[in-house]
Structure 1
Amino acid sequence: MGELSIFCDESGMQEGSSRFYLVTLVFHNQADDLEAALDSYRLSLARRGLPDIPFHATPLKRGHDAYREMDLEARKRMFVSFGVFVQRLPVRYATFSYKSREFGNADRLRALLKRDLVLFLSDHLEYFQSFETVKVYYDNGQPAVAAALRDAIGFMLAKDAYVYRDANYRAFCLAQVADYLCDVELSALKYESHTDTATDVRFFGGIGAFKRNYLKQARRKRL
């Protein structure tokens, strides 16, 4: 019996004002070491002449905030380097996505997400029951998401799922992984619904290139 850490990231507005709302969960068995993958990632950044700064998908793609001084090609290299890093990590993930017309408010979102989490946990019950402790790391802390996680885990696993906001550097790193995977899954929805933006196409290319170079690799990590 070990400890499972769950890292959560979301995209969209709980009030239904955005086209899609996504919640991505990254699962890490605390017994699995991260150091080799972290060392390889830092070496990759150094070799490519890229800064070792926290990964945040949206400002990276748009060239905002910490990425303001980086040109498009450097930002693309950073995105690719982080994707390779994700592939080397001993993690799995799941994404739950909704269209805004499906919920419209935070209470409805909480109910839908809890339902889908319960079904997901049921489908993978043996895996989740193999852990004595489940910890959820969720910095943004949107109440509907945090409540749905606590409710579903408590209901299905008979475990208290405490939500942590303060995290050590390993947890902070895996929160960035959740951000990366959530962005890839959101981009997939946008391409499939023909709502991709100029930024998406400039960064990823067309739908074929996106699926081949980003989505296919990311989904190897799905639980």
Structure 2
Amino acid sequence: MRQLLSVAEVAERLRVSQSLVYKMIERRQIPAIRIGRCVQVDPRALEETLRSPGWADLPNTPFHSEPLMNGHKDYELLDIEQRKVMLAYFSSFVRKLPISYITFVYRRSQFEDPARLMERMGRDISSAMIEHLGFFQSFDDVKVYYDNGQDIVKQALDRSVGKVLSKGVVRRRKTSMTDYRLEQVADYLCTIELALVKYEAKENGETYNKFFGGIGSFKRNWLKQARSKRI
């Protein structure tokens, strides 16, 4: 017999408040079993419900962290609780993916000019690829996606990948955030890594606290889950 989940356990899985879980149960957005005053949730039924963003009456909007967290663009008509659920939903989606990642963090103020920054980026990317060369060589094709967001990043990627891997296996594709889920996943992971930098520097904590619940909760839940995917 499967063990049922309490409201607190469901809230922890979804990374939202218990009061929001109760509201979603009342709206029948989450299937629940009532035993007297006790409310519990079947974990298998919960997983089946979470497979589509439609489970919580959420729009099928491509994930983009900055406007989601600040309520801009496609998210401006959603309240904070809906946006928190969307972030939790996407986090659950990322957790199930067979992916690996690595990130690099830079502050422009630490470099004299963009050329020095690009040189450092290129060196770090090349070193990481050489360190994990067997991983990259295990694929017939290595696709480099870029969205023309920051030209300096594109150039550093092009030069580094071209140096480490043979030209025949590398395919470059121009795309946008809405075209591929994998690019949205990269945006999510970069958001988590950037949040750690901001928390530790005590910058922009109010926005992050609304979604992650403070640095302790962030590290225990969001960061731990993301870091499990690192190469």
Moved over 4 A (4+): none
Identify which of structures 1 and 2 has the higher relative contact order when contacts are C-alpha pairs closer than 8 Å and 6+ apart.
Answer: 1
CA distance in 2, matches of 1:159, 1:120: 18
**Pick from 112, 115, 132: which aligns with 1:124?**
132
CA distance in 2, matches of 1:56, 1:48: 18
**Partner SS for 1:145:** helix
TM alignment of 1:1-223, pairs within 5 A: 43-159=51-167, 161-166=170-175, 172-223=180-231
CA distance in 1, matches of 2:166, 2:111: 27
CA distance in 2, matches of 1:57, 1:133: 28
Bigger strand share: 1
Contact 2:146-2:176 within 8 A present in 1 as well = no
> What residue ranges of structure 1 are gaps of 5+ in the alignment?
1-39
* Residues 154-163 or 211-220, more deviating: 154-163
Deviation (angstroms), 1:57: 0.3
Deviation (angstroms), 1:222: 0.8
Contact 1:137-1:165 within 8 A present in 2 as well = yes
What residue is the counterpart of 1:25 in the other structure? Answer: none
**TM-score, normalized by length of structure 2?**
0.73
CA distance in 2, matches of 1:90, 1:184: 18
CA distance in 2, matches of 1:166, 1:192: 33
Contact 2:108-2:117 within 8 A present in 1 as well = no
Which amino acid letter does the alignment assign opposite residue 218 of structure 2?
A: F
Deviation (angstroms), 1:60: 0.5
CA distance in 2, matches of 1:91, 1:83: 13
**Change over 3 Å in CA distance of 1:112–1:197 after alignment to 2:** same
**Change over 3 Å in CA distance of 1:141–1:99 after alignment to 2:** closer
CA distance in 2, matches of 1:88, 1:140: 29
Deviations 1:187-209 (A, max 9, x none): 01111122233211222221001
Aligned-residue Cα RMSD (Å) equals 2.3
**TM-score, normalized by length of structure 1?**
0.75
**Partner SS for 2:159:** helix
Contact 1:91-1:221 within 8 A present in 2 as well = yes
**Change over 3 Å in CA distance of 1:168–1:104 after alignment to 2:** closer
**Change over 3 Å in CA distance of 1:103–1:111 after alignment to 2:** same
Q: Identity, % of aligned pairs?
A: 45
Aligned length: 184
**Change over 3 Å in CA distance of 1:41–1:95 after alignment to 2:** farther
Which amino acid letter does the alignment assign opposite residue 82 of structure 2?
A: A
**Partner SS for 1:163:** strand
CA distance in 1, matches of 2:176, 2:201: 36
Which amino acid letter does the alignment assign opposite residue 211 of structure 1?
A: K
Deviations 1:128-167 (A, max 9, x none): 1222322111113422211111111121123364431147
